[in-house]
Amino acid sequence: MLRFIGGLLVLALILGATAIAFGLVNVRQTRDAALPEIAVKKGTLPSYKADVVKVEVGTRNETVEVPTVAIKKPE
């Protein structure tokens, strides 16, 4: 059902664009647009205090045992 409605909307958009492109529909602007006027007053930002864990980063020497791998080619 949703695909059908979506298909109808796409078809309507295509038909509308085609009608405008061929001059069957004339669209004119009758009034200029204007942004609304907004009054901005002084405000404050919220403040936060966070207690975080202290992380220490460092380096150390460590010996790691690495396995050996033997590869044999098939004869």
Q: Which pLDDT tens digit goes with each residue over 1-40?
A: 889 999 999 999 998 888 888 888 777 888 888 999 988 8
pLDDT-based confidence at residue 42 (cuts at 50, 70, 90): confident
Look at the chain and count its residues: 75
Backbone angles phi, psi at 62, to 5 degrees: -140, 140
CB neighbour list of residue 16: distance below 8 Å, 6 or more residues apart: 25
pTM listed for this prediction:
0.37
Q: What value does the mean pLDDT take over residues 39-52?
A: 86
